[in-house]
Amino acid sequence: MGDLASLGDLRGKRVLVRSDLNVPLDGTTITDDGRIRASIPTISALTEAGARVIVCAHLGRPKGAPEAKYSLAPVAARLGELLGQDVTFAEDTVGPSAHTAVDAMSDGDVVLLENLRFNAGETAKTDEERAEFAGALAGLADAYVSDGFGVVHRKQASVYDVATLLPSAMGGLVKTEVDVLKRLTEDPQRPYVVVLGGAKVADKLAVIDNLVGKADRLLIGGGMLFTFLAAQGHEIGKSLFDAESLEACKGYLARAQESGVEIVLPVDVIVGKDFAEDTETAVVAADAIPADTMGLDIGPESAALYAGKLADARTVFWNGPMGAFEMAPFAGGTKAVAQALVDATAAGALTVVGGGDSAAAVRQLGFADEQFGHISTGGGASLEYLEGKALPGITILESKS
């Protein structure tokens, strides 16, 4: 799989870079620029090589047409600040503004195109529609670099189809992500502990299915834990419950027992009457949740239990918060797991925070990226890789190398 060096001398070449700049916005204010920061090393390497760098990315989920709230204009400004140079913002993706901006480039310049998803062809289901848009994108450039790990599991025009049309390489961010995931899946150091949280069991079923028998321990938290508690026959009150996943959870508990994999569930939970920061709370045993309450975080005993289960780990993958961490009364479980990963990292373990809400949580709770072995920029892509799925944005690059 080719890296940037495989593209040869890039001086004066127009290089289209697919980055992941899908950052959270409050109006036009970026609330977490982690993904922009993660994109900087590859863009900088290209500008230093004298390339004319055309960055493309998406933001949010527009329906194939421009929507002002999803404009990448704020991202262009922040990208320029972090790069320490002007970034020209094209007000369309493959239209007159894009062509004008690209035609005016000098060596080492950077242009950011407007949101890819303002074009229906980016996410089109048919090969023909995607190919037409991909052709227009490819027409702007001489080479292509895939550096948006958060989208490599999507067969989209800028992720897959463009790579079929131009000399292509893997950017440093994607290469790092793939290397880390290989360490998780190809003979990981043991004990190998996986921590899974988040709201929906259904989102994690395939990864649990693939990891039962591969990981040594699975620690379950977040809203998904209550379906597991229900599978054990416990009352879960008004907690999140995925009825369609109940039988699967029963099956995983049985399989884990047979295969010697430890599935760890909370022994206590923090409950509230309502999903609100000011709701009345109580700590109750996990098998004694009152019928008129909902579980909103793992309890203090569980937090200590989980930290203990992580203490001797040599490899850890974590995806999904332990509770409603965005509300202070329900952040304790997630903070305890994050601290346990920091301690494991300091003790020499490979610790991987699997993107999405987990990455947002550790930053919101005051941890620095450097305290962990690796913070992924792509939660969904990480999970699909751990499920054993082929990722289109990776397979197309592998097929060309």
Residue labelled with tokens 């925070």: 353
What's the rounded Cα separation, in Å, for the pair 55 and 197?
33
Is 365 annotated to bind a ligand? Reply is no
200 labelled catalytic:
yes
Is 326 annotated to bind a ligand? Reply is yes
260 labelled catalytic:
no
Catalytic residue among 172, 320, 380, 393: 380
35 labelled catalytic:
yes
Is 242 annotated to bind a ligand? Reply is no
What's the rounded Cα separation, in Å, for the pair 44 and 52?
11
Is 58 annotated to bind a ligand? Reply is yes
Catalytic residue among 13, 14, 18, 35: 35
Residue 160 CA to chain centroid, in angstroms? 18
Are 380 and 153 within 8 A, CB to CB? yes
Is 255 annotated to bind a ligand? Reply is no
What's the rounded Cα separation, in Å, for the pair 355 and 284?
30
Catalytic residue among 200, 214, 273, 389: 200
Is 312 annotated to bind a ligand? Reply is no
Catalytic residue among 171, 356, 379, 393: 356
Is 378 annotated to bind a ligand? Reply is no
Is 260 annotated to bind a ligand? Reply is no
Is 154 annotated to bind a ligand? Reply is yes
Is 343 annotated to bind a ligand? Reply is no
Q: Are strands 294-298 and 268-272 parallel, antiparallel or unpaired?
A: antiparallel
What's the rounded Cα separation, in Å, for the pair 222 and 352?
18
Residue labelled with tokens 């947002």: 360
Is 3 annotated to bind a ligand? Reply is no
Is 153 annotated to bind a ligand? Reply is no
Are 197 and 242 within 8 A, CB to CB? no
Q: Which residues are 17's β-sheet partners?
A: 55, 145
Is 323 annotated to bind a ligand? Reply is no
Task: Tell me which DSSP letter residue 161 carries.
Answer: I
Please, what sign has the CA dihedral across residues 180, 208, 202, 394?
Answer: positive
Is 4 annotated to bind a ligand? Reply is no
Is 168 annotated to bind a ligand? Reply is no
356 labelled catalytic:
yes
DSSP assignments along 262-283, one per residue: EEE--SEEEEESSSSTTS-EEE
What's the rounded Cα separation, in Å, for the pair 322 and 361?
10
Q: Are strands 281-285 and 268-272 parallel, antiparallel or unpaired?
A: antiparallel
What's the rounded Cα separation, in Å, for the pair 161 and 166?
9
What's the rounded Cα separation, in Å, for the pair 138 and 151?
18
Binding-site residues: 20-22, 35, 58-61, 117, 154, 204, 295, 326, 355-358
Name the binding residues for ATP. 204, 295, 326, 355-358
Active site residues: 35, 200, 356, 380
**Known binding positions for substrate:** 20-22, 35, 58-61, 117, 154
